[in-house]
Amino acid sequence: MSVHEITLIPGDGTGPELIEATRRVLEQTGVGLRWDEQPAGADVYAEEGTPFPDRTLESIRRTKVGIKGPTTTPVGSGFRSVNVLLRQALDLYACIRPCKAYEGVRTRYPETDIVIVRENTEDLYAGIEFEQGTAENRRLRDFLADVGQPVREDAGISIKPISRFGSERIVQAAFQYAKDNDRGKVTAVHKANIMKFTDGLFLEVSREVARRHPEVEFEDRIVDNLCNQLVSRPEEYDVIVLPNLYGDIVSDLGAGMIGGLGLAPGGNIGTRAAMFEATHGSAPKYKGQNRVNPTALMLSGVLMLRHLGERDPADALERAIAAVIRKGEHVTYDLKPTREDPTAVGTSQFADAVIEEMMSQ
């Protein structure tokens, strides 16, 4: 049996509890896994002055695959997001976020089964910004005034880079995901009616890539229309590919449609490595309470197994998670009819139930 070496990052807040529950269920799939545990997040920042030590990055570069517990990002000050650092350092350009409604979860959209493919490196999230009053800001305002687009003096300015290279590889990733996972349609999302040179380029490239994949249905949607249609007829959508900003927003919309971020897995995939993690944050107020739902991180583990080519064990783990949720007996408080339900179990007990389901398959 082959053994896959995986970088394991516990994270901070509730991350270590979630990663431990996920590690246990992954080990019960029968896949050979060897863990290289490395730190990242607020705890190691307090000890070493960096949230992302060099040894952690080197581990991921060596193993090429990692799974990460949530990490805290300070608001307004402090260190930058560990997730952003990882994406930039490893060029993890494709964020894959399935949004699938499981039976037993309270949702108005039980038919939802979509996959968000979000570009990770460009767009407004590239962080090219100019503060009001700076020389760079003034030069850019002068240029905009010269071309007939005056901007107020008290404005901060952001630049939105979208390249042919970045657009082509993310749209190609969406089509490849559709083919690898027996999905029949890709929808490219944009605002090309307004932003003709950035979103217009994304749409143009999407159509070019689509012509190379005639076996997969293709369509495009303006982003505001997409949001309207997602909550009125989600069954019409399958794989949705978007630039960075729209992808961030729509993936949270998709998570809300399936019951919340606690059920939303994610993978960040590039040419040199892949990192799998839950969509939600670290919930530090629940740290050490054995309370938080581990489903999102466990489903991220399912994505990781599929990425490794271990599809049968991945399917078995997903079936076990779905069975536990459907039965509703051994689930965390957020999956109960009321959050005060005394029969709710903790993070580790949820993992025990998933393992029992796998053993009974």
One-letter identity of residue 193: N
Residue 52 binned pLDDT confidence (cut-offs 50, 70, 90)? confident
Tell me yes or no: is domain 1-100+259-361 CATH 3.40.718.10. Answer: yes
Query: What confidence tier does 316 reach under pLDDT thresholds 50, 70, 90?
Result: very high
Between CA 207 and CA 202 the distance in angstroms is: 9
Q: Are 114 and 240 in contact (CB under 8 A)?
A: yes
Q: What is the pLDDT of residues 251-294, one digit of tens each?
A: 999 999 999 999 999 999 998 999 999 988 888 899 999 999 99
Which tokens belong to 86? Answer: 């990882």
How far apart are the C-alpha atoms of 11 and 43, rounded to whole Å? 8
Domain ranges within the chain, ordered by starting residue: 1-100+259-361, 108-122+162-246+253-257, 124-160
* 3-class secondary-structure state, position 141: helix
Residue 75: per-residue pLDDT: 52
Find the range with the poorest average confidence among 85-89, 102-106, 240-244, 317-321. 85-89
Q: Which residues are catalytic?
A: 125, 191, 224, 248
Q: Exposed/middle/buried for 214, CB within 10 Å: 0-12, 13-18, 19+?
A: exposed
- Categorize the per-residue pLDDT at 342 as very low, low, confident or very high, splitting at 50, 70 and 90: confident
The dihedral over CA atoms of 322, 239, 178, 216, expressed in degrees to the nearest 10, equals 140
338-361 burial string, b = 16+ CB within 10 Å, else e? eeeeeebbbbeebbbbbbebbeee
349 or 157: whose pLDDT is higher?
Answer: 349
Angle 266-268-271 (CA atoms, 0-180°, nearest 5)?
A: 150
Among 70-84, 116-130, 141-155, 254-268, the least confident range = 70-84
pLDDT at 78: 55
203-235 per-position pLDDT tens digit: 999 999 999 999 999 999 999 999 999 999 999
pLDDT tens for each residue of 239-252: 999 999 999 999 99
Does the pLDDT value for residue 33 go beyond 90?
Answer: yes
